[in-house]
Amino acid sequence: ILNVEQSPQSLHVQEGDSTNFTCSFPSSNFYALHWYRWETAKSPEALFVMTLNGDEKKKGRISATLNTKEGYSYLYIKGSQPEDSATYLCASSPMDSSYKLIFGSGTRLLVRP
């Protein structure tokens, strides 16, 4: 993998459903993985920054895991609510450039009431 890839591109779920998305990144040139939540016309909002293989982070109903050896991270949302509707972005910070984030194109989540 040369770039950061996210799947699926979009996802529609029913309120109360749990859901997850995937972020794949180049494991050979990796230092940190960021997750952001982005509502249109607002600032992308940081959720997590993870660096260690096996790391798990949690914020309310949202959690994330990191596998640096195989180059992927999962974001989980438990019991989705309509206010969770947003685009979820992941970004990799490569080892050879500590001021750069390489973003995926995002997963657009729509939670139906």
Partner 1 sequence: DTAVSQTPKYLVTQMGNDKSIKCEQNLGHDTMYWYKQDSKKFLKIMFSYNNKELIINETVPNRFSPKSPDKAHLNLHINSLELGDSAVYFCASSPGTVSGNTIYFGEGSWLTVV
Three-state DSSP at 83 gives helix
Residues 6+ apart with CB under 8 A from 52: 66, 68
When binding is defined by CB under 8 A, the residue of 11, 66, 91, 109 that contacts partner 1 is: 91
Among candidates 74, 75, 68, which has minimal Cα distance to 30? 68
Report d(CA 18, CA 31) in Å as an integer. 29
User: What are the backbone dihedrals phi and psi of residue 96, each rounded to the nearest 5 degrees, phi first?
Assistant: -90, 5
- Shortest Cβ distance from residue 45 to partner 1 (Å)? 8
- Shortest Cβ distance from residue 14 to partner 1 (Å)? 25
Q: Which stretch binds partner 1 (CB under 8 A): 13-21, 32-40, 61-69, 76-84?
A: 32-40
Binding to partner 1 by CB under 8 A, coded x per residue (else -) over 40-79, reads -xxxx-x--x-x----------------------------
Tell me the number of residues near partner 1 by CB under 8 A. 23
- Shortest Cβ distance from residue 113 to partner 1 (Å)? 26
Report d(CA 95, CA 14) in Å as an integer. 39
Evaluate whether 111 touches 15 at the Cβ level (below 8 Å).
yes
- Interface positions with partner 1 (CB under 8 A): 31-32, 34, 36, 41-44, 46, 49, 51, 89, 91, 93, 97-101, 103-106
